Amino acid sequence: MNGGEVVVETLLSRGVEAVFFVPGGTNVTVLEALSRNQNKIRSIPTRLESSAVFAADAYSGIRKKPACVICSRAPGATNAAIGIHSAQQASRPVVLFITNIPRRLKGREAFQEINYHLMFADIAKAVFDVNSINEVADVVARALDLSVSGRPGPVVVAISKDILDEDIEPRIPHVSAPVRIGADADAVAAAARLIEASKKPIILAGEMIGFENANEALEKFAEATGAGVMTAYRQQDSFRNDHPAHFGHLAINRLPYQEEALKESDLIIAVGSRLDSITTADYTMLKPNHKLIMICPDADAFSQWQADVAIGSHSIPAMKAIAAALKGAPPADRIAWRDKVHKAEVEFARPGEIKVHGDVDMARCINQFNEIVPKDAIMVSDAGTFGRWITRYYRFNKPNTELSPISGAMGYGVPGGVGAQVANPDATVFVWVGDGGFLMTGHECAAIMQEKLPVKIIVCDNNCWGSIMTHQRKRFEGWDFGTRLQSPDFAKLGEGYGMPSFKVTRTEDFAGALKDMLAVDGPAMLHLLTDIRDISPFTGSAQ
C-alpha cells in the first residue's frame, strides 16, 4: 500500500465516513485512495480550505464523531487555520491532514514550508508530524482517537508527500475501547447535598450535552432537581425551549430577567461546560452568593474555577448518579421560582415588543419560521447580529438542531450547511447568513450544487457589517466608517449558482416565500432585505 492508502485504511478502521478537502499537488495518493472508497467515505471538495474545516466542524457537531479535512501545505493550511480555531472553541473533533513538503527540504524555508507545530500550537489539541511510512497508521489512528477523548477538539497531522508516495504493508492499530470518564461517588454525594440545600439552583448546560447526546438525561436531571436550565453560548438546542425549566440562552447580550435569576440563585450546576467567557459574562458570572458544582470531562477546565464540587466526568453518568443520590422530590417553592423565571423567558421571546423601522420585522419572520419549518430542521448560523433575532425568537425544541461558530468566525454559515447536510442527508438544513458573511464563503453554493445538497439559505441583507456598525455607533454617536456595504443582488447570485431564489422585502411576504423555498426539491436561496436601522433586537428599538 502507498502512504495515501494507509491513511485511508486507517480512517476506515476508525469508522470515518466523511472527508472534506481541497486538492493539492501533495495529496494525490490520498485522494486516489479515497476515490476508490466513495461508498464508505464520502469525500467532498470545497472551494476553500476554511470551508472544508467549517464543514467538518458542522458534520462532527451533528454526528458526534471525527470528521477529516485534507489540504495542502502552507497556503492551504493557513486558509484552514480559522476553522481549526473555531473547532477548538466549539470542542469539535476535526482532524486536519496537511500534505507537506518532502522531508529532505524541511527547515530551510522551502517553497510553501511552515512549521505546523508553531502555527497550530495554541489552537489544536495536538500537532503530529509523521516521520516515516512506518508511522503513518499509528499517527493517524492516534490523531483520530485524541480528537474525541475527554473534551473533543481539533488535531493536526502533517505528512510529507514523499512518505505518502512510499509503499508498506501496514499494521493498522486495533480500535481501543471508548474511554468512559465517570463520576466519583464522594463528589456525587456532595453535589446531591448542595442541591438539596439550595433554594434556587440553576443548571448551566454546556457544549458537551449535545456532543454526548445527553439532552434527555439533562431533562430528567432538571426535573429531578427542580433547577432552571440556562444554555451556554450557542447551545440553545441542548434543552427544550418549551420546557418549564428553560431559562434561556447565555449570549453576548445579558438579559435583565437572567441577571435577576442569577442574582437570586444560590447554586450553579455547570454540566458539560468549560465555562467559556461569553457564557460567564467574561468570567464574572459567579458571585459570592453562588456555590458551584462543575461537571466536565476535561480536567484542565477546573483550574479556572474554584468549584465547591468538581466532577471530572461525562455528563450522563454524573447527572444520573447525582439524581439517584437526591433525597426526595424538589420542594414546591423551588418549582414556583423556576416557573416564574421561565415565564419571563417566554415573554422575552414573544415578538412584537421591538419597534422596527423598515418593512421587514425579523421577529415576526422568525415567528412564522417557527410555525412553518419542521422542528427538527438544522439551523446553521453564521456570525453576525442578524443571528440575535434567531437566538431570541426561534424556539429550539429538538436536540441536534443548532450549529454556529462558537468562535464568532464569519464565513461559517454556508460551509456549515454543507457539513450539516452531509451529516444528515434527510434533514431540512437552513443556513442563516448576513450579507457580510455570505461574501466571505457564500461561494460554497457551488459545492452545494455540485454535491446536490438540498440546503436552504437565507441571506439577511442589511447592507452593512451590522455588528461592527453597532460598536462604532456606541463608541462615537452617529458615526460609522467602513461598515456600509454595497451588496450584490443575492437572489440573482443564487440563480447564478443554479438554485431557485426568492426575494423578500416585506414581512407579509416572508411566509409565502419560505413555503416556496421548502417546496423546492433541492437547494434554494431567500434574499431577505432588512433596514439598516434594524440591526439588533436588543436595545429597545431595533438598533
Ligand X SMILES: Cc1ncc(C[n+]2csc(CCOP(=O)(O)OP(=O)(O)O)c2C)c(N)n1
Q: Which residues bind ligand X (CB under 6 A)?
A: 383-386, 408-411, 434-437, 460, 462, 464-468
Residue nearest to Mg ion (CB): 434
**Cα–Cα dist 23/30, whole Å:** 10
Residue nearest to ligand X (CB): 434
In the list Mg ion, ligand X, none, the entry touching 210 (Cβ below 5 to 8 angstroms by class) is none
Residue (313 or 462) nearer to ligand X, CB: 462
Closest C-alpha to 243, from 396, 392, 385, 77: 396
Residue 331 is classified by DSSP as P
Residues 458-497, mask of contacts with Mg ion (x by CB under 5 A): ----x---x-------------------------------
Task: Please state the length of the chain.
Answer: 543
The residues pairing with 43 across neighbouring beta strands, listed in sequence order, are 19
Instruction: Give the cell for residue 76.
Output: 492551504
Residues 384-413, mask of contacts with Mg ion (x by CB under 5 A): ------------------------------
- Rounded to a whole number of angstroms, the minimum distance from the CB of residue 435 to Mg ion is 4
What is the gyration radius of the CA atoms in the chain, in angstroms? 24
Task: Give residue for cell 527540504.
Answer: 105
Closest C-alpha to 212, from 298, 315, 312: 315
In the list ligand X, Mg ion, none, the entry touching 494 (Cβ below 5 to 8 angstroms by class) is none
Residue (46 or 483) nearer to Mg ion, CB: 483
Instruction: Give the cell for residue 116.
Output: 505546523
Residue (85 or 342) nearer to ligand X, CB: 85
Residue 167 is classified by DSSP as B
In the list Mg ion, ligand X, none, the entry touching 150 (Cβ below 5 to 8 angstroms by class) is none
Residue (267 or 383) nearer to ligand X, CB: 383
Residue (206 or 437) nearer to Mg ion, CB: 437
Do 382 and 435 meet the contact criterion of CB atoms below 8 Å apart?
no
Residue (378 or 529) nearer to Mg ion, CB: 529
516 three-state secondary structure: helix
- Rounded to a whole number of angstroms, the minimum distance from the CB of residue 464 to ligand X is 5
Residue (413 or 436) nearer to Mg ion, CB: 436
- The DSSP string of 73-92 is THHHHHHHHHHHHHHHHHT-
Closest C-alpha to 348, from 291, 382, 394, 312: 394
- Rounded to a whole number of angstroms, the minimum distance from the CB of residue 180 to ligand X is 36
- Rounded to a whole number of angstroms, the minimum distance from the CB of residue 48 to Mg ion is 21
Do 420 and 397 meet the contact criterion of CB atoms below 8 Å apart?
no
Residue (405 or 436) nearer to Mg ion, CB: 436
204 three-state secondary structure: strand
- Rounded to a whole number of angstroms, the minimum distance from the CB of residue 405 to ligand X is 8
Residue of 212, 435, 444, 534 interacting with Mg ion (CB under 5 A): 435
- Rounded to a whole number of angstroms, the minimum distance from the CB of residue 541 to Mg ion is 18
**Cα–Cα dist 496/277, whole Å:** 41
In the list Mg ion, ligand X, none, the entry touching 112 (Cβ below 5 to 8 angstroms by class) is none
Instruction: Give the cell for residue 360.
Output: 421587514
- Rounded to a whole number of angstroms, the minimum distance from the CB of residue 384 to Mg ion is 6
Do 95 and 65 meet the contact criterion of CB atoms below 8 Å apart?
no
Do 248 and 279 meet the contact criterion of CB atoms below 8 Å apart?
no
- Rounded to a whole number of angstroms, the minimum distance from the CB of residue 531 to Mg ion is 11
Residues that bind Mg ion (CB under 5 A): 434-436, 462, 466
